[in-house]
Amino acid sequence: MTSVYLDYNGSAPLDPRVAEVMVPILKEGIGNASSAHRFGRRQSATIDEAREHVGAMVGGRASNVVFTAGATESNNLALRGAVEGAAVDRPRILISAVEHASIRQTARWLHEHGLTELGVIPVTKGGFVDLDALESMIDADVLLVSVMAANSETGILNPMEMIAERAHSVGALLHCDATQSAGRLPFELERIGADLVSLSSHKICGPTGIGALVGTRHGLRRLRPIIHGGGHERGLRSGSLNVAGIAGFGAAARIAIEERTSESARVAKARDRLTSALKSRLPAVHEVGDIARRLPNTANIRFEGADAEAVVTNMDPVAVSTGSACGSGSIEPSEVLLAMGISRESAFESVRFSLGRFTTIEDVDLAVESAVAAVEHVRGMARRSA
């Protein structure tokens, strides 16, 4: 049976062109990039080149790229680094209700340890930050506002410029987790007004385990490191650099810059073919969130009366995902969907399809057949047991 991979938001496949850049470095790239000898200097030159591409992907300067082990670490560094680095008395941070766990858990941890107060900005039914609510929560006590550019489960995009404007009106920093959007859509850090931006390589067909926090000089200067040691990466992230990973991330960023416009148009067409086929073949199919402002590759679809976990299992070898998470032995519905005002029952019926660079029309058509069969089967089982 042909397998189909439609879980790009979970992790995108490595682009073979990226692998081609990485393999010689893995095989022959000797030395620590901090060493002064010729081996070290060569490693360092490789990193410099990658830094240019990763910075350029979000309109940032190479010198303002801090490589990390992924967006989880970047998010930890942004929040904890800002709270611990706060020079002025600003006791509160704000995060949106639909942030990735690495933002939500870090913010909770900081709050529970008495290091900051925490405000959670609600989202609208459409899934984006409620600007009126933000307006009522923001004041000169706020140190940092953290809002994601695009949500991984729904693909919904946030109005980042407006959020930045409000954050800056009170002198707060804006951190943006752009993990799902950079590389798919244009992102200009300075134009948007983001002071700090989190990125991850494996969402843009680069290797896993490498990411970055890109900032303005102003944003980065406000941080304290969370990993201490030899003072690498402007003193913000110690540890010998992962040269092959960084080179792969750089190559992935370079390809994304070149191809994101054409790729997004092609992928959006494939995604729309998928959603319209599902809607025409099955009754009671709903797209989640405001689909007019969404990533081109993502569709979060609710199949009424069909448990999403069962649908996903029955769709194998077509790989899609649900937003529910296993917590202490029981399955919990997606916090993102609940924050959008969706009921627990409906949240358990939502399936995420996320497409990307290597998705073909044949993949889409196979996925439609598989989803239709799975949903009909699961709905039939539910009716029989009712």
48 CB burial (10 A radius; 0-12, 13-18, 19+): middle
Q: How many residues bind ligand PMP (CB under 6 A)?
A: 13
Per CB under 6 A, 46 contacts ligand PMP: no
Closer to ligand PMP by CB, 86 or 245: give it: 245
Binder of ligand PMP out of 66, 142, 148, 301 (CB under 6 A)? 148
Residues numbered 290 to 349 that lie near ligand PMP (CB under 6 A) are none
Structure token pair of residue 316 = 């194998």
Q: Which stretch binds ligand PMP (CB under 6 A): 67-75, 88-96, 116-124, 362-370?
A: 67-75
Structure token pair of residue 321 = 């995902």
| Half-sphere exposure for 185 (CA within 13 Å, toward CB) | 19
Closer to ligand PMP by CB, 148 or 340: give it: 148
Nearest to 371 by CA among 324, 308, 297, 295: 308
Q: In sequence order, what are the beta bridge partners of 293?
A: none
Per CB under 6 A, 71 contacts ligand PMP: yes
Annotation marks residue 205 as catalytic: no
SS3 at position 375: helix
Q: In sequence order, what are the beta bridge partners of 92?
A: 117, 142
Is-contact 186 196, C-beta < 8 A?
no
Cα torsion 311, 317, 320, 322: sign: positive
Question: Cβ 209 to ligand PMP, closest distance in Å?
Answer: 8
Binder of ligand PMP out of 43, 72, 106, 359 (CB under 6 A)? 72
Closer to ligand PMP by CB, 46 or 75: give it: 75
Per CB under 6 A, 180 contacts ligand PMP: yes
Closer to ligand PMP by CB, 204 or 368: give it: 204
Closer to ligand PMP by CB, 6 or 366: give it: 6
Per CB under 6 A, 146 contacts ligand PMP: no
Task: Say if strands 142-148 and 65-68 run parallel, antiparallel, or are unpaired.
Answer: unpaired
Binder of ligand PMP out of 64, 76, 96, 102 (CB under 6 A)? 102
Q: Which stretch binds ligand PMP (CB under 6 A): 133-141, 154-162, 172-180, 255-263?
A: 172-180
Question: Cβ 70 to ligand PMP, closest distance in Å?
Answer: 3
Per CB under 6 A, 100 contacts ligand PMP: yes
Closer to ligand PMP by CB, 53 or 184: give it: 184
d(Cα 272, Cα 282) in Å, to the nearest integer? 15
Is-contact 160 194, C-beta < 8 A?
yes
Closer to ligand PMP by CB, 102 or 158: give it: 102
User: Among all chains, which residue has been given the structure tokens 């189909």?
Assistant: 4
Q: In sequence order, what are the beta bridge partners of 197?
A: 176, 214
Catalytic residue among 87, 326, 327, 384: 326
Closer to ligand PMP by CB, 42 or 245: give it: 245
Q: What angle separates helix 243-281 from helix 361-385, to the nearest 10 degrees?
A: 60
Question: Cβ 114 to ligand PMP, closest distance in Å?
Answer: 26
Question: Cβ 264 to ligand PMP, closest distance in Å?
Answer: 17
User: Among all chains, which residue has been given the structure tokens 């240019």?
Assistant: 52
Question: Cβ 265 to ligand PMP, closest distance in Å?
Answer: 22
Per CB under 6 A, 179 contacts ligand PMP: yes
d(Cα 73, Cα 81) in Å, to the nearest integer? 11
d(Cα 324, Cα 318) in Å, to the nearest integer? 18
Binder of ligand PMP out of 60, 155, 211, 323 (CB under 6 A)? 211
Question: Cβ 152 to ligand PMP, closest distance in Å?
Answer: 3
- The CB density around residue 231, as the number of other CB atoms within 10 Å, is 12
Per CB under 6 A, 154 contacts ligand PMP: no
Is-contact 250 54, C-beta < 8 A?
yes
Q: State which residue has the least CB distance to ligand PMP.
A: 70
Q: Which residues bind ligand PMP (CB under 6 A)?
A: 70-72, 75, 100, 102, 148, 152, 177, 179-180, 200, 211
Looking at the annotation, which residues are catalytic? 326
